Chains A and B, each alone.
Chain A
Amino acid sequence: MSDAKHKMIKITVARYRPQQDDKPWDQRFDVPYSNDSTVLEALNYIKDNLDPSLSFRWSCRMAICGSCGYMVDGVPKLGCKTFLRDYTDKGTVRIAALDNFPIERDLISDIGDFVDKLETIKPYIIRENEKPPSEGEYLQTPAQLDKFKQFSQCINCGLCYAACPQFGRNPEFLGPAALALAFRYNQDSRDQGSAERMEFLNAEEGVWSCTFVGYCSEVCPKSVDPAAAINQGKLASNIDYGLNLVGLAQQPSKTGDQS
């Protein structure tokens, strides 16, 4: 990156050091970049060469671990998947911690609550009667797989939560990724636990807190389309409500409860 032919870009990083600061503040750096430099590489350059105290999360560098979500010029993005060349017109780019999450330090968000929400919706296959492995796997047709595959591509990066104004307004909202994950398991032909998940989907903090802003799907780096999952979840919730009225709704079974 220190190659002489590299051009320079001004990068503003929102810093927050819990011991010294009361609120985030902007720090500016001049960083060399080439055509294939990513935001994540720029952050690593800053940490290695300009200010070793800068803290940020990252791991795989290839948009699969979901660790390097930041606000890049106000838009939730993965640092490893965002190229500096797309910000050269302005000659400057601002990187901050993801919106809506508490900031632990600098660019590191506290995602504990988000992870709890993912666990809340029982993101595993629930069977009424588990068959022994000796009887073989649960088979699935390509059409059955197609019903949920898209929603299983989530990498838990949290960009959709940073994009969701309803989550920003009410942190109790289960939010895009958790609801998409619930929908993913409810759509799985091998799963029999949807009655247990409906309780969370039907709640005020479930699908009904969503007003279909749709920005979650727009920023999703894996094209999961959580907005589609949540709003199809509203349909399921309505059907469940109707069935409940006439006493036909499936009741949660105790057997599948692993929590």
Chain B
Amino acid sequence: MSSDSSNANPVNRKPYVQKQSANWWLQNRYYRFYMLREATSVPIFGYALLLIWGLLRLSQGEAAFTDWLALMQHPLMMLFHLLVIAAALLHAYTWFDLTPKILVIRLGDFRVPDRWVKLGHYGGFVVTSAALLCLALLFIKGGA
């Protein structure tokens, strides 16, 4: 079809324009998982706010910060933290899954396989997580 024929609209034409439904994302598994992936940003946003609030309490002195720490140990807060870490892990998984599509590494004629790119990311993830954990443990030990 040339662009001319699509622009011309003789009287006998009456194309039906399909409108996207508000619940388009419920219509298949692929869309639902995409929306879940995007929704992981919500708990992570909440967590960021929580941390900023913690910083604010810290700036207000020791008592304020201790109150904030005590609140963090409330079962509902623990539950929220679990939700946040689940969201962060799911987000990381989907991110690593998509990375090889964008990060194409060519060494001469050799294209680094997608699996290596993914494994490299998981490797980096494990190493940095372990390093952060060690650092945190060191601080706790040092503080005690």
- Chain A: residues with CB nearer than 8 A to chain B? 16, 18-19, 21, 23-24, 74-75, 97, 99-104, 110-113, 115-116, 119, 141-143, 146-147, 165, 168-169, 211-215, 217-218, 225, 227-228, 231-232, 234-235
Contact = CB atoms under 8 A, between A and B. Distances in A.
Contacts of B30: 213-215, 218
Contact of A110 (B15, B38, B106): B15
Interface of B: 1-3, 5-7, 12-18, 20, 24-25, 27-28, 30-31, 34, 38, 98, 101-102, 104, 106, 108-109, 111
Across the A-B interface, the 7 shortest Cβ-Cβ residue pairs: A112-B6, A102-B15, A18-B14, A228-B101, A168-B20, A103-B16, A143-B109
A214 B34 contact: yes
Nearest to B38: A211
18 contacts: A24-B16, A74-B28, A97-B18, A100-B20, A102-B17, A103-B16, A103-B18, A110-B1, A110-B15, A116-B3, A116-B6, A141-B109, A168-B20, A211-B38, A214-B98, A215-B30, A217-B101, A232-B104
B16 A169 contact: no
A19 B12 contact: yes
Contact of B101 (A141, A213, A218, A225): A225
A102 B15 CA distance: 6
Given A16-B16, A227-B101, A143 B106 contact: yes
Contact of A146 (B28, B98, B111): B111
Given A74-B28, A232-B102, A115 B16 contact: no
Nearest to A166: B20
A102 B16 contact: yes
A98 to B, nearest CB: 9
A146 B104 CA distance: 12
B52 to A, nearest CB: 27
Nearest to A103: B16
A115 B1 contact: yes
Nearest to A119: B3
Nearest to B101: A228
Contacts of B104: 232
Contacts of B27: 74
B15 A103 contact: yes
B109 A115 contact: no
A18 B15 contact: yes
B122 to A, nearest CB: 20
B25 A231 contact: no
Given A143-B106, A213-B34, A228-B101, 16 more contacts: A102-B18, A103-B18, A110-B15, A112-B2, A112-B3, A112-B5, A112-B6, A116-B6, A143-B108, A168-B20, A169-B20, A211-B38, A215-B30, A218-B30, A227-B101, A228-B102
Nearest to A228: B101
Contacts of B111: 146
A97 B16 CA distance: 11
Nearest to B30: A215
A39 to B, nearest CB: 18
A147 B102 CA distance: 13
A101 B98 CA distance: 28
Given A110-B6, A115-B6, A165 B15 contact: no
